[in-house]
Structure 1
Amino acid sequence: MSKPSLPPQLSLIIKNVDLRVGFSELSTDLQANYPSVKNVIRMKNKFQNEIRLVKIELLSTQDRNQLLARGKIMINHISYDVVEYLAAANVLICSKCMGLGHFKKQCKETTETCKVCRLACQDLKNHQCTQQAKCLHCGGNHNSNALSCPVVKQFRADLTKKLLSNINSYVQPKLVQQPINNNSNYMQYLANFPPLPLSHYTPVTNPNSVIIQKLDELNNNMMKINNRIGELVRKTDKLEKFMVEKIESDTENLKRIQMTEMISEANKRDISSLLDTVHYMAQFLLKLNVDQNGRTNDANFKYNLERHCTQLAKCVEKKGNPKK
């Protein structure tokens, strides 16, 4: 069985309470800071969805009036606006004629109306009801004084709107009596003198929203770092590919150099062999240029051949002893 609510005169409404705020934490902090708070209720709309209004029921009239006078309440280091709780208006249903908006003592009808079958009679004590419920207001299958009647609901809604509009539009002028001198006084209406604009202040932010903002910034920074790491990986892959290609190119060049050196050595050996052969042929020709008596047959031929042999010998010597 649920506990009955306290009278609306002991209730207040806390405005703009974020739906992301933990309700249990909110209730605990409220009851810890304000011991007179009995119940904490999250308000709902007509679709039974939670809204940003929280109703608190207090046991102390003094605490309720102090909070209402300040207009602010501090919960978890956050300041919220506090306004008066205005309960839905109660609909008066006459028990004599089943009419709306007046009591039986104020009723002007001469006959009485049955709340079940809606038939009028002089005295309900002598009335024989058919026990078939039929509403006097909407004709539905319910008693005429049922609060679930759509006509009664609409009447209550219109009455509540009217009361709220009257409260919001009503401004009571405050009179301030200040003596100008000893002989005369003047009356000043504060309504004619608008108050100075409120000073700018930095509202207290919700710690949950600050944490969410920090997490978003951290997530963005992590994404930037991830992108940077991706770029470094791509550059590293390119560098590794370049190094592999460079090593392969150097290997090919080394092979070509080695092949060139081998060819050069082979050419050197061939040239040396050729020079030796030419030298032997020159010596053979010099021997043929001598007659039986040992005299030279052709002096010019001998001179030219010896000169060429000397040059060839120098070439062979240079090939055998290259300069370092």
Structure 2
Amino acid sequence: MMVLTKCMEIFIHLCILLNYAQEINNITIESQLPKCLPPPFSVLIKFVHNHISIDEIRQEVKGKYFSQYSCNELIGTKTHRTRHVRIDFTERNDYNTILKNGQISFCSQLYTVSEFLEAPKLLVCSKCNSPGHMKKQCRSKYDRCRRCGDDRIIGDHVECSIKCHHCSGEHLSTDYKCPILADYRFQLVKELKRHHKRLPEDVQLFIPAQCRDRNGRPHVITNYQKNEQKSRATYNSTFNMNTHS
């Protein structure tokens, strides 16, 4: 059974095992929970030293914030000394508290905590592995293997050689390191910057370093106009309340 919801609160509620019945009509319920929560419930801790294990970090955070949902290293951020860690919370109070504190310590090391901002994702076709459309709109004659690019129906595609059919590079055709996908992503970010006023007020997107301007700023795409209007309305409301009181 699959449950779909557009409500963030209901989604988070369904990510907590205690909110599930153990069985329905004598049928045991075994829930399949997501690995991560939506970005509005996630924080980022950068440059955590490698000698501190992920289990030690989970234990430290769990001792301070009971609603910790997951704690994982960000893929692609690990160097010979440090890596970035993403932590998700099911309770908004814990999320707000850790951000307000701005810091957390692991094994006598103090690290800065910031909100986790999701980078713009590409819409990649599951049939031809090309960006910009879905399988329903795809004009490819057959389903292409993302490893070798050949027809998935013909042959074994578990151990086939990896060769991107976009650029002939030694990576999956859906990998962001592909220059074709990288250029498409760059153009997508460029369009989002130009039309940022169309974004909802609660959406903030992280701009990857390779997609930023020369000065490296800004690193976030958001609807500045709507956020300014919202802040101004909040200020006016507070000011009026204080005036009348």
**TM-score scaled by length of structure 2:** 0.45
* Greater relative contact order structure (CA < 8 Å, 6+ sep): 2
Richer in helix (by share): 1
Q: Normalised by the size of structure 1, how large is the TM-score?
A: 0.36
Find the structure with the greater CA-based Rg: 1
